[in-house]
Amino acid sequence: MLELAKHIIETKKGEFDPSKFNDRYEAAVAELVKAKLAGKPVKVAKTAKAPKVVDLMEALRASVGQGALKADKRKPAKKAAYVARPKRLRVATFNVNNINKRLPNLLAWLEATQPDIVALQELKAKDADFPVGALQAAGYGAVWQGQKTWNGVALLARGAEPVVTRRRLPGGEDDDQARYIEAAIAGIVVASIYAPNGNPQPGPKFDYKLAWMKRLIAHAAELKAAGVPVILAGDYNVAPTAIDIYPTRSWDDDALIQPAPRRSFRRLLDQGWTDAIRHLFPDQRIYSFWTYWRGRFDRDHGLRLDHILLSADLAGCLVEAGVHRDERGRDGASDHAPVWALLER
């Protein structure tokens, strides 16, 4: 836009050329300026409204079927009872590191483990390239937010269609990175999260990481205040404590283990969220990510970056959790392994 302003100021009335501007916003403004300079009437189109955020209660009702939620009319809607939630739910999060390249691995894992809800990250695919047909054939409904080359998140539901409630975090209106999607599945609000890596640090990428996590913390507080069951699952790109990385000094300068993002993750937990893995295994070294370098997987030189956080009501349903470590060792595998949790009520 600065170049557009400079062109307006420096050119003569009859020499203004809107063709210099390829960006669709700048081009639209340039055409308006040209019309104004020529003395023609200017018609300004109405600004497109931002996508509506679906009401959480409406989405939850839709995710379990009509009449599945029985609300006490004397109390606010957020106090509704979720009577149709399945008695057993297996939830998982999996950074697939290119969904089309790893599709055979993903489909084999889905068939072998049959998770009910899956959060996927790092799709590395445009929306049009998401393999929805293959996933439907495997028995999963899907919603996704794709992005070419980098990022991308999705949610899968076995035998159901997720009901989207959000496709990005609130705030950061200029942030076009596909890192968050949220939907109602089986009477639960589920988010797939792909937090920024933040390297190199210090620098703008690290600043973006901290700002993004701040937005996540703020939105998580809103979800908690809504009084509905919530799962925040994904690749947080944070190894929260010293036991979430193998003993080494080689990562000391890496953004994944810096004090600031660790504090951010701690602030998130302090809202009342339960880290499923750490709740059941408070002192055990458990990893979900191993780089492709120097035989790190074979030597179990890993980090725990992928987390399933549960709201208080779901934390009381947690009975098992773990990492499908063997998936990391398969041919063509992602550098992450799926993390899972079993909920029973």
Q: Report how far apart, in Å, the C-alpha atoms of 269 and of each of 221, 249, 311 are.
A: 10, 26, 10
Indicate if 295 and 173 belong to the same structural domain: yes
Q: Are residues 174 and 89 in the same domain?
A: yes
Examine the domain organization and report whether 266 and 200 are in the same domain: yes
Q: Is residue 297 part of a domain?
A: yes
Q: What's the pLDDT score for residue 87?
A: 85
pLDDT of residue 11: 45
Question: What's the DSSP call for residue 345?
Answer: -
Cβ(319)–Cβ(243) under 8 Å? no
Mean pLDDT by 10 residues, the chain (345 residues): 42 44 40 51 39 73 57 33 68 98 98 98 98 98 95 97 96 94 97 98 98 98 96 98 97 98 98 98 98 94 98 97 98 98 94
**Residue 244 belongs to a domain:** yes
Same domain assignment for residues 221 and 132:
yes
Tokens 């999607």 — which residue?
181
- Where do we find the tokens 């890993």? 302
- Residue 313 belongs to a domain with what CATH number? 3.60.10.10
Within a domain: 51? no
Q: What is the pLDDT of residue 9?
A: 39
Domain that holds residue 338: 56-344
Query: How far is Cα 60 from Cα 279, in angstroms, rounded to an integer?
Result: 27
180-185: strand order across its sheet: 163-166, 180-185, 188-194, 230-235, 306-310, 274-275
What pLDDT score was predicted for residue 55? 82
Are 10 and 68 in a shared domain? no
Write down the pTM of the prediction.
0.81
| C-alpha span between 235 and 202 (Å, rounded) | 21
Please tell me the total count of domains within the chain: 2
Are 95 and 27 in the same domain?
no
Which of these, 133, 84, 139, 145, lies nearest to 116 by C-alpha position? Answer: 139
In a domain, 216, yes or no: yes
One domain for residues 32 and 140 = no
User: Encoding tokens for residue 336?
Assistant: 């992450």
Residue 45 lies in a domain: no
Cα gap 8→33, rounded to integer Å: 8
Domain match, 138 and 18 both? no
Q: Is 309 in contact with 276 (CB distance < 8 Å)?
A: yes
On whether residue 81 sits in a domain, the answer given is yes
My answer on whether 16 and 131 are in the same domain is no
Inside any domain, residue 49:
no
- Are 15 and 120 members of one domain? no
For residue 289, the 8-state DSSP code is B
**HSE-up of 216 (CA within 13 Å, CB side)?**
30
| 28 and 123 belong to one structural domain | no
**What is the Rg, in whole angstroms, of the alpha carbon atoms belonging to the chain?**
23
Identify whether residues 16 and 154 lie together within a single domain: no
Residue 50 counted as domain residue: no
